[in-house]
Amino acid sequence: MSDAQPFNHRVGENNIRFAGFDVHRTVFFVSAALVLLMVGWVIAFPAAATDGFASALSFVTSKAGWLMGSLANLFVLFCLFLMVSPYGSVRLGGPAARPEFSDIAWFAMLFAAGMGIGMVFYSVAEPISHFSSSMAAIGEAAGGAPLGGAAGDVEGSARLAMAATLFHWTIHPWSIFAVVAVGLAFFTYNRGMPLTIRSSLHPLFGDRVWGPLGDVVDGLAVLATVAGLATSLGLGAQQALAGIGYLFGAEPSTLNQILLIAVIAAVTTLSVSLGLEKGVKWLSLINVALAAALCLFVIVVGPTAKIFAGLWADTLAFITKFPALAGVSDREDGPFFRDWTIFYWAWWTAWAPFVGMFIARISRGRTVRQTVFFVVLLPSLVSIVWFTAFGTVAIDQLVTAGSRAAADAELPLKLFATLRELPLAQLSSLIGIVLVMVFFITSWDSGTLVLDTLASGGKTDTRKAQSVFWIVVVGAAAVALLLGGGLKSLQSGSVVTGLPFMIVITLICAGTLRGLIVARREALQEKGGRT
């Protein structure tokens, strides 16, 4: 079998068509029903939902935290293997394939889909939180600080806070995304399979993936994607409304958050109707430009020398603390490991189906090595600059200027509290709000495209009615989680759905490796036959 020869399976062959929909008969109806049942349960019984989410979160983090941490480390090692092994030379789409998008547009789209709202939300919140907990790390409080903290040591606490932040936002999340992206792109473009999660498991389970087994896998991917998107949209609504309240005095009530989600849903619908080239691509470029402008502004008007010094010091601290932060046993900082690291690994995993599939969809024509290298390392470098800039400014305001504005502010307001201490606060805050909202639209847009594809058996030319349906479903899930306990429920829902899909990603690693081994062997045999 040649590298590009398709398997005997037609995209959408198990679909059913009705009322403008063209969907997989099992995946669509079962996953949509489960999501709508969850939304109804949370809205009808908010107290019970809050308790249920809290219990599930506690069980997952306390009983399976070590497993999630271990698997996240495995994905990093697998990506490293792909970059240095001969299998990295396999081209996604076959030897003659060439990239559809320019390098800049490709990076902008994958970065906007992969980080987006969360990076803005936690830009100040995470560094300042880790710094404060590290400084206060005495007795039981040490467990809530990264690696037990550095009580009373300002410099040590600052470096530890930044190392922990970078650990959560660089190599690990992008490795999770890259594993899924490479697996899906290879089996779609090199083996002619549908653009669905089940395709990457074909080397392990054969044609059984086209039956109930594959339905479960793709259905789980839909649930994880909805939970991951709902979490991010809830965070984005909270932060955008907090910024609007800061600038214009709007009340950051739950009702206003729901109204904001509804307005963004309307804009997202318009963006989806424009398609990948005119919608997501241009929004992603705007995102990257706004983020670069805001970051550059903070570097220029903030403590510039300290920020540049921090780029070296924080990166070095990240590298030296990496083994300890990646450890999964005998942790003296158990609460930090559970509440921060495991939450992030589950959140990234919940995002993996949609981010990985979206990256796969735009990565045809690039080699496996190029894809992994740029998906893992380039966004990590951007995150280092971003978090160092905002984290250094926030910590400097607390230590040098004695301002507790950011430290004492609510999570959604921490970024705006930091910008308020800098020149041109109104302008920079307005840019921050716009950035959150555009990321809001981009994530929802790209996520909708992926949900459409998953629920339609791998079709990439889905109908607009389906896009509107998934926009409504994701918006309803975000609203339901906000009503059912706010930020805590958003986080809990993401963690609970992330755990089972982490097992699926592990299987994707095995399936991708087997597929690449066969592809390289076929390529060598074909080359030998020609000579």
Unique residue bearing structure tokens 């709000």: 433
CB 23 within 8 A of CB 456: yes
Q: Helices 343-362 and 103-114, interaxial angle, to 10°?
A: 150
Q: In the structure encoding, which two tokens stand for residue 93, read together?
A: 């789409």
Higher pLDDT, 506 or 62: 506
Average pLDDT, rounded, for the chain:
84
Q: How confident is the model at residue 2 (pLDDT cuts 50, 70, 90)?
A: very low
Q: Could you report the per-residue pLDDT of 442-457, keeping only the tens digit for each?
A: 777 778 888 888 888 8
Burial of 371 (0-12, 13-18, 19+ CB in 10 A): buried
**pLDDT for the residue numbered 4:** 40
Mean pLDDT within 348-371: 88
d(CA 151, CA 164): 16
Q: Which of 141-145, 207-211, 509-513 has the lowest mean pLDDT?
A: 141-145
pLDDT for 372: 94
Lowest mean pLDDT among 121-130, 257-266, 358-367, 409-418: 257-266
Least confident of 79-83, 119-123, 198-202, 458-462: 458-462
Strand partners, 22: 17
Question: What pLDDT shows up at residue 154?
Answer: 92
C-alpha to C-alpha distance for 134 and 317, rounded to whole angstroms: 15
> What is the arithmetic mean of pLDDT over 200-223?
90
Domain contains 260 = no
Residues 337-345, mean pLDDT to the nearest whole number: 88
pLDDT given at position 279: 62
Q: What does DSSP say about strands 15-18 and 21-24: parallel, antiparallel, or unpaired?
A: antiparallel
Q: Could you give phi then psi for residue 162, rounded to 5 degrees?
A: -70, -35
What phi, psi does 409 have (nearest 5°)? -75, 155
Nearest CA to 90 out of 509, 529, 511, 518 is that of: 518
Confidence of residue 496 (pLDDT cuts 50, 70, 90): confident
Phi and psi at residue 144, to the nearest 5°:
-90, -5
User: pLDDT tier at 64 (50, 70, 90 boundaries)?
Assistant: confident
Task: Categorize the per-residue pLDDT at 505 as very low, low, confident or very high, splitting at 50, 70 and 90.
Answer: very high
Does any domain span residue 474? no
Chain segment 231-244, per-residue pLDDT in tens: 777 777 778 888 88
The percent of residues above 90 in pLDDT, for the chain, comes to: 35
Question: CA torsion, points 127, 129, 130, 135, in degrees to nearest 10?
Answer: 120
What's the total number of domains in the chain?
1
Query: Comparing 113 with 321, which gets the higher pLDDT?
Result: 321
Do the domain assignments include residue 327?
A: yes
pLDDT band at 462 (very low <50, low <70, confident <90, very high): low
**Assigned domain for 501 exists:** yes
Question: Which amino acid, one-letter code, is at 114?
Answer: G
| Cβ within 8 Å of residue 126, ≥6 positions away | 164, 165, 168, 340, 387, 391
Q: What is the pLDDT of residue 203?
A: 92
Flag whether 393 is in a domain: yes
- Domain span at residue 507 reads 15-250+276-420+489-530
Q: Which of 34-43, 52-61, 71-80 has the highest mean pLDDT?
A: 71-80
Helix (H, G, I), strand (E, B) or coil at 431: helix
Tell me which range, 391-395, 438-442, 470-474, is most confidently predicted by mean pLDDT: 391-395
Is residue 10 domain-resident? Answer: no
pLDDT of 218 over the 60 cut: yes
Q: How confident is the model at residue 494 (pLDDT cuts 50, 70, 90)?
A: low
Residues 6+ apart with CB under 8 A from 416: 242, 243, 246, 409, 429, 432
- pLDDT interval class at 7 (50, 70, 90): very low
* DSSP string computed for 378-423: HHHHHHHHHHHHHHHHHHHHHHTS---HHHHS-GGGHHHHHHHTST
Reference 346, options 130, 153, 71, 135; nearest CA is 71
| Model pLDDT for residues 242-265, shown as the tens digit of each residue | 888 877 776 767 788 788 888 888
In a domain, 432, yes or no: no
pLDDT tens figures, 108-131: 877 777 776 778 888 999 999 999
- For residues 311 and 296, what is the distance between their CA atoms, to the nearest angstrom? 14
Give, in order, the Cα–Cα distances in Å from 279 to each of 195, 200, 271, 438.
21, 28, 5, 12
The residue that leads in pLDDT, 441 or 214, is 214
Burial profile 95-117: b = 16 or more Cβ within 10 angstroms, e = fewer: eebebbbeeebbbbbbbbbbbbb
Q: For residue 108, what pLDDT is reported?
A: 80
| Under 8 Å between Cβ of 149 and 480 | no
- Do 211 and 195 touch, CB atoms closer than 8 A? no
Q: Look at residue 429 and tell me if it is in a domain.
A: no
